[in-house]
């Protein structure tokens, strides 16, 4: 005699044990699904190479526009004296990424480009740690001297089908950059951000904007997730940078942090990532890690790959904050984060992020 299971019991069994059924695949984890690769050179070739290695599509492609006032072939007195009259490095790189060359991503509209965009430009003879010159060059952006070049970049991306790109405006403002955001120029940084934001947004309403910090963003906060996490912004000398609240909620979509394995313990990484995640939750923004990687000047520590994978899979979800994307900074040697330079880390990266029967590891 054959018996039929009541439908309610059958449904319970499927829900409880369905992931174990033959041929079933678990849903990809957030870290697996939101993977990106960061490349300066041969972007199309390198991205395709890693898609082959992992046996899967990689959703995000991170690139850098550069902040020099002109490309090498234009280095001249004229460029140094009136750099806005010459095509900046930013535009030349945009042509490389979105034009018709062999490294263009023009026909890869299925991926999301993540692009670092400067908020100031310097001539080849200037040093990016020169505060006064940095303030002067940011003012040039605010005054509109570079508008046509920003428009060119935004239009190149949109025409190539990448109007949905994510733009990291004025990244790492606490470091040596031509757009340094310190206690005495919060307002200038805000004006430059909003000025460039408007240019890109007018070309494509789909574009999103990521406010990215660096190592020192949260260094003065000993505990992750405390209510005064924003205290590490104002009044902290050279380490103080404009808080997200100063830019305005409507002008920022993602709050993020670049994170590298440069210390022997992961405590600092937990603190910095945790505090940045706290800020994303506070302002109801998505969270991202636009650059991350091992740092072989310490050692080839595959454990850091696993740490980042686990952290990104658990902590944003616990905080109720979406993980927008993350990108491994895989520049070729001699860059310390290169996976080719760190074979143990490369093997772990492939194990965790490759296509497989469960994808969640």
Dihedrals phi, psi of 112, to nearest 5 degrees:
-105, 120
pLDDT digits (tens, 9 = 90+) for 63-120: 987 777 765 444 444 454 555 556 788 888 888 899 888 889 999 999 999 999 999 9
pTM score above 0.75: yes
Q: What is the CA radius of gyration of the chain?
A: 22
- Output the CA–CA distances (angstroms, integers) from residue 116 to 166, 301, 304, in the order listed: 9, 27, 25
Structure tokens at 75: 């280095």
pLDDT digits (tens, 9 = 90+) for 249-268: 899 999 999 999 866 678 88
Residue of 96, 101, 110 lying closest to 64 (CA atoms): 96
Q: Are strands 254-257 and 286-293 parallel, antiparallel or unpaired?
A: parallel
Angle 47-199-82 (CA atoms, 0-180°, nearest 5)? 90
Maximum distance among all Cα pairs of the chain, rounded to whole angstroms: 95
Asked which of 136-140, 175-179, 291-295 is least confident by mean pLDDT, the reply is 175-179
CB 126 within 8 Å of CB 171:
no
Helix (H) or strand (E) holding 319: helix 302-319
- Output the CA–CA distances (angstroms, integers) from residue 117 to 29, 88, 165, 353, in the order listed: 29, 12, 12, 28
Binned at pLDDT 50, 70 and 90, residue 8 comes out as very low
pLDDT digits (tens, 9 = 90+) for 17-62: 334 444 444 689 999 999 999 987 789 999 999 999 999 999 999 9
- The number of angstroms, rounded, from the C-alpha of 288 to the middle of its chain's C-alpha atoms is 7
Domains (range + CATH), the chain: 31-353 (3.20.20.80)
What's the rounded Cα separation, in Å, for the pair 268 and 288? Answer: 17
Categorise residue 144: left if φ over 0, alpha if ψ from -120 to 50, beta otherwise: left
Binned at pLDDT 50, 70 and 90, residue 13 comes out as very low
Structure tokens at 89: 């490095």
Structure tokens at 257: 């942090």
Q: What is the DSSP string of 31-72?
A: HHHTEEEE-SSSHHHHHHHHHHHHTS---EEEEE---BSS-G
pLDDT digits (tens, 9 = 90+) for 213-235: 764 544 444 334 433 444 443 33
For residue 276, the model assigns a pLDDT of 87
Residue of 237, 257, 249 lying closest to 282 (CA atoms): 249
């Amino acid at each position: 005699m054959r018996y039929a299971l009541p439908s309610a019991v059958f449904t319970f069994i499927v829900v409880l044990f369905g992931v174990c059924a033959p041929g079933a695949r678990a849903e990809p984890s957030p870290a697996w699904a939101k993977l990106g690769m960061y490349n300066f050179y041969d972007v199309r070739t390198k991205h395709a190479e890693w898609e082959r290695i992992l046996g899967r599509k990689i959703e995000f492609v991170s690139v850098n526009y550069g902040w020099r006032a002109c490309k090498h072939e234009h280095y001249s007195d004229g460029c140094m004296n009136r750099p806005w009259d010459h095509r900046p490095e930013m535009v030349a790189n945009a042509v490389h990424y979105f034009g018709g060359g062999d490294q263009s991503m023009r026909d890869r509209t299925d991926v999301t480009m993540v692009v670092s965009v400067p908020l100031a430009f310097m001539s080849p003879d200037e040093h990016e740690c020169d505060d006064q010159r940095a303030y002067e060059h940011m003012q040039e952006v605010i005054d509109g001297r570079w508008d046509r070049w920003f428009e060119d970049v935004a239009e190149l991306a949109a025409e190539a089908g990448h109007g949905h790109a994510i733009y990291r405006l004025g990244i790492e403002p606490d470091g040596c950059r031509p757009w340094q955001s310190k206690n005495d120029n919060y307002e200038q940084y805000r004006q430059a951000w909003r000025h460039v934001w408007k240019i890109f947004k007018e070309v494509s309403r789909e574009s999103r904007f990521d406010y990215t910090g660096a190592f020192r963003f949260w260094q003065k906060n000993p505990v992750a997730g405390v209510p005064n996490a924003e205290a590490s912004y104002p009044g902290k000398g050279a380490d103080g940078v404009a808080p997200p609240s100063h830019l305005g909620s409507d002008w920022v979509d993602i709050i993020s942090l670049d994170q590298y394995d440069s210390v022997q313990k992961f405590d600092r990484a937990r603190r910095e990532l945790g505090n940045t995640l706290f800020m994303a939750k506070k302002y109801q923004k998505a969270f991202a890690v636009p650059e991350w990687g091992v740092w072989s000047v310490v050692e080839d520590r595959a454990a850091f790959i696993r740490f980042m994978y686990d952290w990104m899979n658990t902590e944003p979800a616990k905080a109720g904050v979406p993980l927008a994307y993350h990108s491994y900074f895989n520049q070729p040697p001699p860059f310390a984060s290169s996976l080719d330079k760190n074979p143990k880390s490369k093997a772990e990266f492939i194990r965790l992020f490759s296509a497989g029967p469960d994808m969640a590891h």
